[in-house]
Amino acid sequence: MSDAALPPDSAAAPAATPASEPITPAQRDDLRRQGILLTSIEELYNWGRSHSVWPLNFGLACCAIEMIAASMARFDIARFGSEVFRPSPRQADLLIVSGTVTKKMAPQVIRLWNQMPEPKYCIAMGACAISGGPFKQGYNVLKGIDRFIPVDIFIPGCPPRPEALLHGLVQLQAKIRGQPLTGPDAPRHLRSDVECNCPIPEFGAHDLVPTQNPTVWQPPQPIVRPDKA
Ligand code: SF4
């Protein structure tokens, strides 16, 4: 067709959406109904990560029984892509701290965490892993694994049921899907200014040394009311 046969610009097809304007969910649904899938590298990358979270085959106490139940046929953690419990931390993405963490065991738990490659995640399952639970006052029990390693999801209960673990896993998947791949909120493995490994405490005369990892946990500060200051 010669140029003379083309309509003038003013009579051309309706103006296209400017490239910088984001596509709306309604437009995306329209396209999906026509067999066209639109996504971004970030969504695709996060979708892949969130549906292949392989846990470490590891448990500490009674909560581990509930974790095992979650992988059985009745609850079927395979529906969420996490049935591949790995026997080696080198192949695992998720540390489920399920049970009481004694101070004698804590260095080993942190060592396992350090041996897992990034990207990796941690779920503190049950009252013991969160705070020491019924053994909180014990001299030998750690008052929360979050004092030493970064915890992504806390699941309360003594013990939490398998459904609670599945709910925690779904929450973790949502968290992964919402992570930007650039900027200050990017995951640890994509940032050069964040240390991925955690220091392993040693046994001191009366307690672990140090007693916490200050980069992941700070003691809560007392709330001082202005009228009491
Ligand atoms: S939270 Fe309760 S069920 Fe879980 S390990 Fe502690 S005592 Fe056992």
Domains defined along the chain, listed by start = 54-195 (3.40.50.12280)
Instruction: Determine if ligand 1 sits within 6 Å of the CB of residue 144.
Output: no
pLDDT of residue 16: 55
Which numbered atom of ligand 1 lies nearest the CA of 134?
Answer: 7
pLDDT of residue 57: 95
Instruction: Determine if ligand 1 sits within 6 Å of the CB of residue 130.
Output: no
Has residue 3 got a pLDDT over 90? no
* Inter-residue contact 33 to 67 (CB < 8 Å): no
User: Structure tokens of 24?
Assistant: 């709306």
Residue type, 92: A
Has residue 51 got a pLDDT over 70? yes
Question: pLDDT per residue over 98-147, tens digit each?
Answer: 999 999 999 999 999 999 999 999 999 999 999 999 999 999 999 999 99
Work out the percent of the chain whose per-residue pLDDT is above 70: 90
CA dihedral (65, 63, 140, 204) positive or negative? positive
Has residue 229 got a pLDDT over 70? no
Which numbered atom of ligand 1 lies nearest the CA of 62?
Answer: 8
| Average pLDDT estimate for 178-183 | 89
Q: State in Å: Cα 129 to ligand 1 middle.
A: 8
Q: How confident is the model at residue 14 (pLDDT cuts 50, 70, 90)?
A: low
Instruction: Determine if ligand 1 sits within 6 Å of the CB of residue 141.
Output: no
Has residue 11 got a pLDDT over 70? no
In this structure, the residue with its CA closest to atom 2 of ligand 1 is 158
In this structure, the residue with its CA closest to atom 8 of ligand 1 is 62
| Average pLDDT estimate for 164-189 | 92
Among candidates 112, 124, 113, which has minimal Cα distance to 151? Answer: 124
Which residue among 58, 60, 63 has the greatest number of ligand 1 atoms within 8 angstroms of its CB, and so is best to mutate?
63
pLDDT of residue 2: 45
Instruction: Determine if ligand 1 sits within 6 Å of the CB of residue 127.
Output: yes
| Average pLDDT estimate for 165-171 | 97
